[in-house]
Structure 1
Amino acid sequence: MVVIKRQIPTLMDKAKNADKPVKLEKWKSSADKSTPPPPAPIPENQRIGYAVVGLGHLALEEVIPALSGCKFSRLAALVSGDDKKMEKVALQYGVSPGSCYSYERFDEIKNNTDVSVIYIILPNSMHMEFTVRGARAGKHILCEKPMANSSAECRKMIAACNKAKVKLMIAYRMQFQPHTLKLKEMVSNERFGRVRYIETVNGQSSANPDHWRHKAKLAGGGVLPDIGIYCLNTTRFILGKEPIEVFAYQYSTPKDPLFKDTEELISWQMKFDEGLIASCMAHYKIREVKTMRIHAERGWMFMDRAFAYKGQQLKTSRAEGEEEIEETISVPEPNQFGAEMDHFSECILRKKDPKTPAEEGLRDHVIMEAIYKSAKTGKPVKIIKT
């Protein structure tokens, strides 16, 4: 007698196709904008577990909520210097007490097999310490921008992660923002000819002199490493080029307690090859403004709310005969934090390199150090290659 064994699909077999969207029937005509496919997360027990280190504004308002909607990522642990806050957050998001760590007990995370990635969202001066400790624990590292307080610290972080054979990614969320990606595509394709000049502004109004952002030892600087870095990194990303020289000016209002040892304003120009100039400004004492304007030979591209967490608006302008044509480009807007975390998780799952590696963070620090040097000396500074 021949026995025929029926092949019953296992959960693992089913999971291989879980990340493919469910196909839905078409119901809109081509006259309307099509909708994206429905979410297709992989099973939760196969998603990459994240330990969020630091429970401040960014972690609680953006990162942890974004993890709930991720495709490849999930919240697995918390690390904080405030036990009461951590206990409350753990209850809100279902994190077990055994996966909650103080800064002193952080090294014990090496024994938590549920954690694959450590997401560092701490004052800048603490980035190097927790990156090195996290690497020694055998965990991959996602570190907020700026990468550290100096290029020297960046190099130590890179060395520690290389030694531990773990990945180190810097959280440059703008490189995952769809309007920014559209800008990069238009610049790369020379939609309006070659780019000749760029203007970027990132400003906000600060009010708490006791916040760590206004302490040079904790922040590594003032407005430049905090929000000026968006102007710097986004410009480099969109152009796909590196500046060869910078010239800068900085200012702090005398006797203002906010700016006792950090700058209030920094304005700088970056010189690229072929005469391309980028003019950038970051300010801590103006009403919120976040803009990027790219001037090309046959038109301009403008992004309002350019560096915001959401709500970007992209416009273009060109001439056709006697007509001035302005267009607003609308693109789907996924969560920026979820997109960058899922990218890193996919890199781990598929053994790929992240698109914003540690070397990207190091490069920004080298340029920022040149910007500060120029502002101090009043002279242009050549950029050292890394």
Structure 2
Amino acid sequence: MEFPAWTAPTERPAGPPPAPLPPGERVGFAVVGLGRLSLEEILPAFGETKQAKLVALVSGTPDKAKAVAAQYGVSPEALYGYADFDGLKNNPAIQVVYVVTPNGLHKEYVVGAVRAGKHVLCEKPMATGSADAQAMVDAAKAANRTLMIAYRCQYEPYNRAVQKLVRGKTFGATGFIDAVNVQNMAAPDQWRFNKALAGGGALPDIGLYCLNGARFISGEEPVEISARIWSSANDPRFKEVEETVSFTLRFPSGLIANCLASYGLHESRRMGLHAPGAAIQFDNAFAYTGHRLSVAHRDGEAESVDERRLAAKNQFALEMDHMAECVRTGRVPRTPGEEGVQDHKLMEAIYRAASSGQVVKLDPIEKEDATRGPALSEG
């Protein structure tokens, strides 16, 4: 449906009204793992999807699963424990399995899901290393199932607007990116401090946003990496995983990305991008909400700072709808399994660089968006 314009051309266009698919035509999702991310972000986001719907839950806590199912209208017959995960194959309403377990369990449930004939959306980081990540890609290909990694920022409007500014060379070629994603963590007994379950500390959890963000915004792959890692002495949180990592990426165009991630610093999630004609400041770049984007540039005899305001959209709903579209149409996801494998290879290079104190050189990859599927539409 379309309405005639009701505001003047000087006003920001509202866009067409939402066009959700009828419930019977939406793609059914089973969410595996009912932790904080699922309960606080993913399950509520189904209320904003247009092509996806929640049809099943998998949890190791039956009472929690029953309570959540009652809240979201999931049938009691569509509740599964991890021991009866194979039962998903007998439920035709489930087309996509969304794996939201700790990282070290991703491979088990991704491989199990594709072998059960289901498509899979898997949370980032994809696994705990590139070998397991590649095995997940191979299993999905062998089963002829779609595997997508939940890089939510690549679907979020502000991140895509920054990508457009950089790739379009709106203010000339971007020469430097400064990316920071830090937060002060507690509860040393949580799984994120367990190396077997997490794969690492600040790097794979929140540093990955800086790494993937620089790759996604530029479309390039780094050819050199240097890094440093440090942790507070005698802090029980960091007996197995790193507290802080700083790494620098050099790209073929000459672009440098300087990145910082930490589990021991006050929360900040920002990105600064510098080009000959402008300085772009992107605050809350990796957050769920609250994005702010400003561009400082010359305006005649003055320095102008323009704030870009975009309509807020739920990035979890956007990524789930994209996955649903891929299932419905057969298209390759924008963030397929290969995107996750590449990030793991680069994180392993970051660890090598930090351990050796030497610059790690990588074979150049000339193709833009080499590990991504087709670009998203502007809508």
TM-score w.r.t. the length of structure 1 is 0.93
Kindly provide the CA deviation profile for residues 67-106 of structure 1, in whole angstroms up to 9, marking residues without a partner as x. Answer: 1221100001000111111110011111111110000100
Partner of 1:14: none
Distance between the aligned counterparts of 2:66 and 2:253, measured in 1?
Answer: 56
**Equivalent position of 1:126 in the other structure:** 105
Matching of residues 305-344 of structure 1 within 5 Å: 305-344=284-323
Hey, what's the Cα distance between the residues in 2 that align with 1:63 and 1:136? 24
Which residue in 2 is equivalent to 1:223?
A: 202
State the distance in 2 between where 1:33 and 1:297 align.
28
Kindly indicate whether residue 271 of structure 2 is the aligned counterpart of residue 292 of structure 1. yes
What is the identity percentage for the equivalent residue pairs of Structure 1 and Structure 2? 46
Moved over 6 A (4+): none
Distance 1:100 1:198 in 2: 45
Quote how far apart the aligned CAs of 1:25 are.
Answer: 4.5
Q: Among residues 158, 175, 178, which one is paired with 1:199 in the alignment? A: 178
Structure 2: any 5+ residue segments left out of the alignment?
366-370, 372-379
Instruction: State how far apart, in whole Å, the 1-side matches of 2:116 and 2:211 are.
Output: 32
Letter paired with 2:27: I
Find the structure with the greater CA-based Rg: 1
User: Which residue among 305, 325, 328 is the counterpart of 1:349?
Assistant: 328
Amino acid of the structure 2 residue aligned with 1:142: L
- Residues 1:63 and 2:45 aligned together: no
| RMSD of aligned residue pairs (Cα, Å) | 1.1
2:95 alignment counterpart: 116
3-state DSSP of counterpart to 1:275: coil
Find 2:82's aligned residue among 100, 103, 113. 103
Alignment of 1:79 with 2:35, yes or no, is: no
Q: Which residue of 2 aligns with 1:164?
A: 143
Give the C-alpha shift of residue 168 in structure 1: 0.2
Deviation (angstroms), 1:243: 0.2
Deviation readout 1:172-217 (Å, 9 max, x if unpaired): 0010011111111111111111111110000111011011011111
2:115 to 126, 136, 149: 136
Q: How far did residue 122 of structure 1 move?
A: 0.6
- Contact 1:301 1:317 (C-alpha < 8 Å) held by counterparts: yes
Query: How many residues were matched structurally?
Result: 365
Given that residues 194 and 297 in structure 1 are in contact (C-alpha distance below 8 angstroms), is that contact kept between their aligned partners in structure 2?
Answer: yes
Cα deviation code 1:265-311 (max 9, x no counterpart): 00000011143210000011111100101111111111000000011
Alignment partner for residue 216 of structure 2, among 237, 258, 270?
237
> For 1:271-282, what aligned pairs fall within 5 Å after superposition?
271-282=250-261
2:236 is aligned to 257
Unaligned stretches of 5+ residues in structure 1: 1-21
- Please say if residues 366 and 383 of structure 1, whose CA atoms lie closer than 8 Å, have aligned partners that are also in contact: no
Matched residue, 2:377:
none
**Aligned partners of 2:12 and 2:248: how far apart in 1?**
40
How far 1:27 moved relative to its partner? Answer: 2.5
> What SS class does the counterpart of residue 131 from structure 2 fall into?
helix
Give, in angstroms, the shift of residue 171 of structure 1: 0.3
